[in-house]
Amino acid sequence: MDPSTASSSTGSHGNSAAPASAAGANTALPLSAGGVGDVSGGGGGSIGGTGIGSVGTYSSSHKSSSDIFLSHLPQDERLARVWGKNGTLPKVSTTEELRLELRADLDGSCEENVLFSLCSWAWRGHVEQVLELLQFEEKPFEGEVFRVLRASLLMRLGRQKEATEIVELLQQSRVIAAKVLCAVVAIEWNERSTAVDMLHKLLGQLKQLHCPDPSSPASSTTVLLDTFRKPLLPEAAQAWRQRIMALLVSCYSTSGNYVLALDLCHSALDELGEIEHASDTESLRNAHVPVLLQIGRLRLQMGDFEGARVVLEDLEGDEGLDWNDASAVQVLRGLCDFAEGKMESAKDHFAKLLRQVTGPEAPSEDSANPYVPADMLSAVFAVQEPLAATLANNLALCHLNMCDLDGAIQILEDCIRDNPVRNMHRTLVFNLCTLYDLARSKEQSRQAKLDLQRLAHVLQIGQRFDAQKDLRL
C-alpha cells in the first residue's frame, strides 16, 4: 500500500501539498501487504520494506461499516449511516460562507486579513472552497501573493499543469514563497537538479540574512521579501529555511543519497548554532528540533535503528518544546518501535497519540497551525498530511502487521468520520481502498469505494481524488 508520507517529494499519487510538507514532522509508515507495492514514488520520511506475507494470514472477524455496504438503502442514507456521527453527515462549508467572512476585509482592502482567513480555511481542509474563490472573485485577488496561494493549492490537488502556468509568471519574483514554489514545480516535473540548485541558492541567501558577510554586500535585487513584499524578519526566515532544507533532504533521500542528506542536516545544525548565537530572537531557541527529526528519520530509512534511538533520546531530553514539536518527537518514538519490530509497543504508542490528537484536550485546529506571524503564507507551505491521519495510518499498519486487517480498516474509517473534510487525505483514502480490496469481496469493495467517492462529492472535496489512482476504481 501507499506510504502516507509527509514528504514534499510528491509523485504522481502523493499529495502535492506544498513545499513545507517535506519538513515531515508527522511521518507515517508505508503500508504494504499481499504484494501491493508503493505507488507514491515519494517518501523522504518513509521507512521501506514492511511487507508482511500472504493475505490468508489475516483475521477477518471484526464488524466494519462494509458489512452494510450491500444493503438496499439509498446511497445518501447509507452514507449518513456509515460515515456520519449519530447518523448525520457534517455541515458543508460553502464558498459563499467564506466570501461573507471575507467581505469586511475585502471592502476595506485589508490584504493581510484576507490572506489570514484564506490560509486558515485552507489549513482546516477547505482547499476547494478557497481555490474556487481565488479563481472566480475579481479584483481583490489579482496580487502576487494570491497567485502564489492559488498555485500552491492547485498543486495540493494534483493539478500541476495549471499551477505551472501561474508559476511561470512568478519567475522573477523576490518573494520567497514564489521562489520556493518555483523549485517545487521543478521537482514535480522531475527536474531535480534544477530544483536542488535553486534551493541551495535560497539557503545561501537566508544564511546571508542571518550572518551577513561584510565582504559580499547583498544587492537590492537579490534581497528576499516576505508575503507582503517587506524584508524577511528572522522568525519568518528561519521557518522558510526549515522548509527549504527539508525539500533538499527529500530530494536527496528519494534518490538514495542518504549521505548527502545527512551531511546537509549536520551542516544545518552547525549553521543554526551560529544563527542562534547572532540572534536574540526567542523563537529560534528550538530551531534545531526539525533538523534532528530529519536526522532521526533518515537513520531509520538507512536501517541505523541505534542511531535513530540516539537522536530520539536527545530530543526527548529537550525541554520547552511546543505542541507541534513534542508531537513530532513522539511520532519518531513510535517509528523507532515499529522499525525494531516492537509492534505491540508501537501500536499502543500510536493509539495513545491518536487519542490525544482527536480527544477533547487536543489543541484547536487554529492553535496547532504553524503560522509565522511575519509571513502567514508559510502556513500553506507547511500543510502536510494531518497529524490524525498520519497516526491513523501508522496505527493501521501496526494492526496489519499483527494480522488484524479489519482492525486496520476500522481505524482508518474512524479517522475519516472524526473530521472527513480534513482527514480525507489522498494517502489515507488510497490505503483504505487497498484494504477494502484485500479484505472484502470484489462487489463489496467496489461499493465501499463508490460510497467514499460519493462522500467526497457531498462534502465538496471530490476534486482532490482521482478515481483510478486514489480510489482504485
Q: Are the CB atoms for 187 and 195 separated by under 8 Å?
A: yes
Integer Cα distance of 26 and 248 in angstroms: 18
Identify the CATH class of 19-464: mainly alpha
Convert the pLDDT of each residue in 76-135 to its tens digit.
888 888 888 877 888 777 777 777 777 666 665 677 777 877 887 887 778 888 888 887
Cα-based torsion angle of the residue sequence 300, 301, 302, 305 in order, rounded to the nearest 10 degrees:
10
Q: Identify the pLDDT of residue 276.
A: 58
C-alpha cell at 217: 554586500
C-alpha cell at 53: 506475507
Convert the pLDDT of each residue in 183-240 to its tens digit.
989 998 989 999 999 999 999 888 777 665 555 555 444 688 888 888 888 778 888 8
Q: Where are the domains of the chain?
A: 19-464
- The arithmetic mean of pLDDT across residues 439-468, rounded, is 90
Integer Cα distance of 308 and 300 in angstroms: 6
Which of left, alpha, beta for 341 (phi over 0: left; psi -120 to 50: alpha)? left
Convert the pLDDT of each residue in 239-298 to its tens digit.
888 889 889 998 999 889 999 999 999 998 888 776 655 555 555 667 788 899 999 999
Rounded (5°) CA angle 404-40-410? 25
Return the higher-pLDDT residue of 113 and 176: 176
Q: Identify the pLDDT of residue 59.
A: 43
The reported pTM is 0.79
> In whole angstroms, how large is the CA radius of gyration of the chain?
22
Q: Are the CB atoms for 434 and 394 separated by under 8 Å?
A: no
Q: DSSP letter for 68, please.
A: G
Return the higher-pLDDT residue of 49 and 292: 292
Q: DSSP letter for 233, please.
A: P
Is the pLDDT at 350 greater than 90? The verdict is yes
Closest CA to 260 of 270, 248, 272: 248
**Residue 415: alpha-carbon gap to chain centroid:** 16
